[in-house]
Structure 1
Amino acid sequence: MSINNQTLLSHLNQLLKPEKVKDYCPNGLQVEGVSEISKIVTGVTACQALIDRAVELNADAIFVHHGYFWRGENPCIVGMKRQRIKQLINHDINLYGYHLPLDIHPELGNNAQLAKRLNIEVIGGLEQQNPQSVAMHGQFETPLTLQQLAKTVEQSLQRTPQIISAGEHSIKSIGWCTGGGQSYIEMAAEQGIDAFISGEISEQTVHVAREMEIHFIAAGHHATERYGAKALGEYLAKSFDLDVTFVDIDNPV
């Protein structure tokens, strides 16, 4: 089966609703390719290695969480950016990129998929007055020690997390935000949440965790954001009978 690239764009926009989110990049079809799509490669970031693999697999489209044309970057298509876009155009490959809309989708999103992998019962958005909250909060059925949660994270994501202990308290309530969401830790602490998980950690995160008595786990930007693109690819394969392959380009960050 195949689908028109504009029809696919329309469906993705209806599904992910990018117009409801203020983002740092354009969401949707970022580089146009062949009009009929039957083979899709999904991945986290539209790096050269992912594009090269898509070419090897004869893909008509690539779907990623981290695409191109970020706010504040040099807009000129030179150097690394030129090489990536040149490869896409030469092989007539469509590039679809959805950033925050993929993070927050209640079923297919990065946050929802991480919660599913860690057996977190989702309660709602951490930003209580924002219906499009990027960070989330929830709870575990049974309280965990920090060591137990860290082991669960490591086994689920296949990556050793960085752990900041804030004392001896167990973890029942949990906040999380995949990728670079460590700045939400203060909001979680102010709401009395026991622990917070994100992909990255900053220098100040350590002090916030210790002083506001909230455990923190940095589980990896890439590792926490593998599963949204993968889930969306599986959804597209099932919905439109397309050939979809998730390609995981290793990234230790």
Structure 2
Amino acid sequence: MERAELQRYLDNLLEVGRFRDYCPNGLQVEGRAEIQRVVCGVTASQALLDAAVTREADAVLVHHGYFWRGEDGVITGLRRKRLGSLLNHDISLFAYHLPLDAHPDLGNNAQLARLMGWTPEGRFGEQDIGWTGRLPQATRGDLLARQVAARLGREPLLLGDPAKTVARIAWCTGGAQGYFEQAIACGVDCFVSGEASEQTTHLARESGVSYLAVGHHASERYGVQALGAHLAERFGLEVSFVEVDNPV
């Protein structure tokens, strides 16, 4: 498959033009013109790039890429090594941040809901990035935390009353603790995201709405896998997912 064709397809599928993001979405580093073998991962870390080189990948597809707004643009040290791994082996880097969070079927929020059996009902937050819905059955907060731990393989942090009944839920994968107040305004019993900040504890206590921090990395493993599987099925590409462990 031609690199330019893959780029056009992904950009259209994920509607990158409608998002205001903290980084460029799409092709971030240009590699060889023909793509057959793709390595997927959550973040374009050196470990993932090394795996891509070992697997003789033509492209790397990630959720967290490079060139974040406000970071130093000098290409030295670790940045030089990462870019060198791509350029020296003629590997393209595709990265989709908010577009991959938001996609209604392949996105991180959609895939987390599917994994957990939650029923989506609505959206909230800037660019409709957050989701609301219902559990298949109302349950205590501590039991919900156990369900999440069993499916994600990571012990979550529950803030709020563990005995509180949770029926309506809101979620937004990754570092979305800043959306907690908007989730509270939606009238939910619990908000699920990847991380918690110092003030998150106080919001949970004072609002009576529980907060479940399930892990930034753990909550965002599934969108890129779904997207990779979609590309494999549609275009016959060789796609593999590489898990680079991250406790955050």
TM-score (norm 1): 0.96
Q: Is the 8 Å Cα contact of residues 64 and 97 (structure 2) preserved in structure 1?
A: yes
Which runs of 5 or more residues in structure 1 are unaligned? none
Aligned to 2:78: 80
Tell me, in whole angstroms, the C-alpha distance in 2 between the residues paired with 1:124 and 1:8.
31
Pick from 220, 233, 238 the counterpart of residue 228 of structure 2: 233
Tell me, in whole angstroms, the C-alpha distance in 2 between the residues paired with 1:125 and 1:56.
41
Aligned to 2:92: 94
Tell me, in whole angstroms, the C-alpha distance in 1 between the residues paired with 2:161 and 2:210.
5
Q: Deviations over 1:39-71 (max 9, x none)?
A: 000000000000000000000000000000000
Tell me, in whole angstroms, the C-alpha distance in 2 between the residues paired with 1:168 and 1:161.
16
In percent, how many aligned pairs have the same letter?
50
Pick from 217, 221, 236 the counterpart of residue 222 of structure 1: 217
Aligned to 2:56: 58
Aligned to 1:159: 154
Tell me, in whole angstroms, the C-alpha distance in 1 between the residues paired with 2:228 and 2:107.
12
Q: CA offset at residue 126 of structure 1?
A: 1.9
SS at match of 1:36: coil
Tell me, in whole angstroms, the C-alpha distance in 1 between the residues paired with 2:82 and 2:122.
38
Q: Is the 8 Å Cα contact of residues 30 and 93 (structure 2) preserved in structure 1?
A: yes
SS at match of 2:230: helix
Aligned to 1:16: 14
Alignment of 1:110-189 (within 5 A): 110-127=108-125, 132-166=127-161, 168-189=163-184
Q: Is the 8 Å Cα contact of residues 141 and 162 (structure 2) preserved in structure 1?
A: no
Aligned to 2:196: 201
SS at match of 1:37: coil
Q: Deviations over 1:146-169 (max 9, x none)?
A: 122101100110000011123643
Q: CA offset at residue 229 of structure 1?
A: 0.5
Moved more, 140-149 or 105-114: 140-149
Q: Deviations over 1:122-178 (max 9, x none)?
A: 012123xx6x31111111131011122101100110000011123643111000110
Aligned to 1:249: 244
Tell me, in whole angstroms, the C-alpha distance in 1 between the residues paired with 2:26 and 2:186.
34
Asked if residue 211 in structure 1 is aligned to residue 214 in structure 2, the reply is no
Paired residues, number: 248
Tell me, in whole angstroms, the C-alpha distance in 2 between the residues paired with 1:191 and 1:95.
37
Tell me, in whole angstroms, the C-alpha distance in 2 between the residues paired with 1:106 and 1:246.
21
One-letter amino acid of the counterpart of residue 191, structure 1: C
Q: Deviations over 1:172-209 (max 9, x none)?
A: 10001100001111111122210010000000000000
Tell me, in whole angstroms, the C-alpha distance in 2 between the residues paired with 1:209 and 1:167.
11
SS at match of 1:205: helix
Alignment of 1:41-52 (within 5 A): 41-52=39-50
Tell me, in whole angstroms, the C-alpha distance in 1 between the residues paired with 2:8 and 2:225.
20
Please report the RMSD computed on the Cα atoms of aligned residues, expressed in angstroms.
0.9
Q: Is the 8 Å Cα contact of residues 33 and 92 (structure 1) preserved in structure 2?
A: yes
Q: Is the 8 Å Cα contact of residues 167 and 213 (structure 1) preserved in structure 2?
A: no
Q: Deviations over 1:90-113 (max 9, x none)?
A: 000000000000000000000000
SS at match of 2:128: coil
Aligned to 1:34: 32
One-letter amino acid of the counterpart of residue 160, structure 1: E
Change in CA separation of 1:103 and 1:223 when aligned onto 2, cut-off 3 Å: same
